[in-house]
Structure 1
Amino acid sequence: MDSLVNQLKMNFPGRTYQIERLFSLFGYKNEPFVSSVFIYGPSSTGKSAVVGSLLDGLEIRNACVNLVECYSSKVLFESILNQLSGHKIDPFKGHPYAKCDNVMDFIFNLRKCADEVDLNKSVIVLDKAERLRNMDYNLLPAFLKLKELSGLSVSVIFISEIIFEKYYFKARTLEPIKIHFSQYTREELWEILRLDFDHVQNFIRNNFNENFDINEEFFSNYLNLFLSVFYRVCRDLSELRHMSKLNFVKYCEPVFKKECKLEDSMGLWRHIAPILKASLEVLYLRISPVSQEGKQQSVEIKCDGARTVKQFTFSKESLAQFLELPFYAKYLLIAAYLASYNPPKEDKRLFMKYHGKKTKRMKDVKAKNIVSEQLNTQLGPKPFGFERLVAIFYAILEEKVDFNSNLLVQISTLVELQLLSMVSDNCDLDSRKYKCCVSFEFIQIISKTVDFNITKYLVDFN
């Protein structure tokens, strides 16, 4: 078993404490399993990956369900029973192992499944467990006491992005064992990204140059440069991994073209610095950095052989032109940008017709001499509340429209498209905080499609 723990520590750097804690709870065969474990932490911190790898390595029968997919109690119960029993659904008939409409049916069928399959020391993993708060009120207490209610040695692992104190329920239950997955540090991210060395090297050889041989030191130096730019802006491992692979190809372009050598670190840095800066503006949009013309760009990379590889990159301007958003969604995105880059105290002056006379003070006169580095559009987006977003939306929209569920869905769509990011808990609609992720050039093009002059409502230009 020590070999399994050591292997997990090598595969998941920075998660030594969490792996040892989970192994102490589930790794000893002679000890009973705990009733429930609550694992929480930010996204992309290895929660689901560590739990899945540990359970598979220990060969523990488990059922892992994602509550985004299991949107109702019926689907959740049937999915758990299908996995624990090993039942495979016929694609033509589609009958589950057993139909469960409530908690009592689930416990009855769970005991029935235990007569057919050994469920002793089995585990149920509920990923995205915060969704339980929007489902039936008795689900969370039932899963916390599932071992007691069913009489079986079944443990439940909750994986969530919020703390347990934000799970509201009236029933008094024993709190689960809590394990926190903290955010990765810069050194831990560097170690994790280094694990992609073999994959990146094979990708370069298969697509660009078969004879191109890079060493780990060259790749490590690139990661140091990459994290020096991106670490202060983003801690999401999946986004950092995607952008590091995308920009590493551009980092190697001078070597492909024989303009620089592998040892010329200063020449490679001068080449990649503006590209990394442009990549920050499209960090969450999953597109390539902007080209100089602002259009689709075709880059030809000549290798040592006779083969030439073409890479097509699309700028954020071209994406904004072809992005098909509903009419009101564009206005919501514009309102979000204005809320992110305007101070709240200026809303009355910018969006109200009769805002009163503003007295000129000395600090307002000095503010006219502000440098470009201190402009709000240069300092980055600020979080804003849901009520302020709605207020600005109605202020800039000329026609009158009722605020209904369709507009709420469009806000969720903007979050899913990574045009907006949620920076708070989503348990309460009124307390939600958002942040706009698009650049000024991007929102200018969106504004032109609806014939809206956005510079008129920005403090930096007004």
Structure 2
Amino acid sequence: MSGLKKSADAEAKRHLAEKLICREVQVSTLLSVFGEPHHYSFPSLFIYGHTATGKTYVIQTLLETLELPHAIVNCVECFTSRLLFEQVLNQLQGHHPSPENNYSSFTFCNTFNDFVRLYKQLTHNQGLQNQTVYIVLDRAERLREMEVNLLPGFLRLQELTQENVTILLLSEIVWEKFRPNTGCFEPLTLYFPDYSKVDLQKILSHDHPPEYSADFYATYINILLGVFYTVCRDLKELRHLVRIHYMKVQHFFFSSYSYYSVQS
């Protein structure tokens, strides 16, 4: 069994290395903090960095690849605490609002005290009390605009529930601007820096289509970055630019090939 586990762990790490390019330091730190699934993890992590630095993608890929129980909620979509609580509980229960259930939630949850009680019931019913459960709150700066007890409560959720749960707060602002005036448990912080030009070259080149060689596509990416890097360093926007200009490059090469074929 231990041999199978080691083989599975090696396969998971290989998969992570292939998908999480240029984020080796952050992935290594997160894996160290997570530890073994049955060990108590740090109560809360605050992960920050500019947009398109891979925060959400890295966390989601790690949790899914390692098959860790988790819920990922975007705080922009949850403009009330009730929506936030119910989305977390829905995901941990595996409940999906749909036409068949009239888009209803797994359970109603109006207050933080209700959330603590329902969370404990759910984890025991699902047999999750012996492993770490991860609750990811993306765009967590929106919590500052909600009830004053919400952020301190989440940061102390492990203490309040007496369960092995870790809160991951993802934000584009630093903790000093995030810290509430009421005082709360200080999370462990992790910074995701902007991608360098070399990083962007490596990530974008990794997406090369199979019909062209990797060297050809890397050359195209290098030319594109030479034009746009000084004015745009957002990975999402650069990926969009790569796609729309690559269609033009394809059209140019196809037209040139057709012309020379006719001439010959």
TM-score, shorter chain, exceeding 0.5: yes
2:255 to 250, 254, 257: 257
- 1:224-280 CA distance string (max 9 Å, x none): 110011111111101101111111222233321226xxxxxxxxxxxxxxxxxxxxx
Where does residue 126 of structure 2 map in the other structure? 117
1:157 to 168, 193, 203: 168
Q: Which amino acid aligns with 1:225?
A: I
Where does residue 87 of structure 2 map in the other structure? 79
- 1:435-462 CA distance string (max 9 Å, x none): xxxxxxxxxxxxxxxxxxxxxxxxxxxx
- 1:105-160 CA distance string (max 9 Å, x none): 11111122123112331110001101101111111100000000111111110111
Q: What is the 5 A alignment of 1:44-443?
A: 44-91=52-99, 92-120=101-129, 121-198=132-209, 201=210, 214-258=212-256
Structure number with the higher helix fraction is 2
Q: Which has the higher contact order (CA 8 A, sep 6+)?
A: 2
User: Structure 1: how far apart are the matches of 2:34 and 2:260?
Assistant: 52
Divergent runs of 4+, >6 A: 301-305
How far the C-alpha of 1:22 sits from its partner, in A, is 0.8
User: Structure 2: how far apart are the matches of 1:302 and 1:37?
Assistant: 59
User: Structure 1: how far apart are the matches of 2:97 and 2:220?
Assistant: 48
Where does residue 23 of structure 1 map in the other structure? 31
User: Structure 2: how far apart are the matches of 1:102 and 1:49?
Assistant: 30
- 1:418-441 CA distance string (max 9 Å, x none): xxxxxxxxxxxxxxxxxxxxxxxx
- Give secondary structure in 1 for the equivalent of 2:185: coil
Residues 124/304 of structure 1: CA separation in 2 closer, same or farther (3 Å cut)? farther
User: Structure 2: how far apart are the matches of 1:181 and 1:128?
Assistant: 14
- 1:58-103 CA distance string (max 9 Å, x none): 1111011101111110100011111111223352533322211111
Residues 256/93 of structure 1: CA separation in 2 closer, same or farther (3 Å cut)? closer
CA RMSD of aligned residues (A): 2.1
Q: Which amino acid aligns with 2:85?
A: F
Q: Which amino acid aligns with 1:166?
A: K
- Matched-pair contact (CA < 8 Å) for 2:46–2:168: yes
How far the C-alpha of 1:32 sits from its partner, in A, is 1.4
Q: Which amino acid aligns with 1:152?
A: E
Bigger Rg over Cα: 1
User: Structure 1: how far apart are the matches of 2:141 and 2:260?
Assistant: 50
User: Structure 2: how far apart are the matches of 1:30 and 1:94?
Assistant: 34
Between Structure 1 and Structure 2, how many residues are aligned?
251
Report the identity percentage.
37
Residues 138/253 of structure 1: CA separation in 2 closer, same or farther (3 Å cut)? same
User: Structure 1: how far apart are the matches of 2:164 and 2:105?
Assistant: 23
Residues 169/244 of structure 1: CA separation in 2 closer, same or farther (3 Å cut)? same
- Give secondary structure in 1 for the equivalent of 2:256: coil
User: Structure 1: how far apart are the matches of 2:251 and 2:167?
Assistant: 50
How far the C-alpha of 1:303 sits from its partner, in A, is 11
User: Structure 1: how far apart are the matches of 2:260 and 2:67?
Assistant: 47
- Matched-pair contact (CA < 8 Å) for 2:37–2:68: no
TM-score with structure 2 length normalisation?
0.88
Gaps of 5+ in 1: 202-212, 260-300, 306-462
How far the C-alpha of 1:304 sits from its partner, in A, is 7.6
Gaps of 5+ in 2: 1-8
How far the C-alpha of 1:30 sits from its partner, in A, is 4.8
Residues 168/30 of structure 1: CA separation in 2 closer, same or farther (3 Å cut)? closer
How far the C-alpha of 1:8 sits from its partner, in A, is 1.6
- Give secondary structure in 2 for the equivalent of 1:155: strand
Q: Which amino acid aligns with 1:223?
A: I
Q: Does 1:8 align with 2:16?
A: yes
Q: Which amino acid aligns with 2:159?
A: E
- Matched-pair contact (CA < 8 Å) for 2:208–2:217: yes
- Matched-pair contact (CA < 8 Å) for 2:152–2:185: no
- Matched-pair contact (CA < 8 Å) for 1:39–1:180: yes
- Matched-pair contact (CA < 8 Å) for 1:128–1:161: yes
Q: Which segment drifts farther, 115-124 or 42-51?
A: 115-124
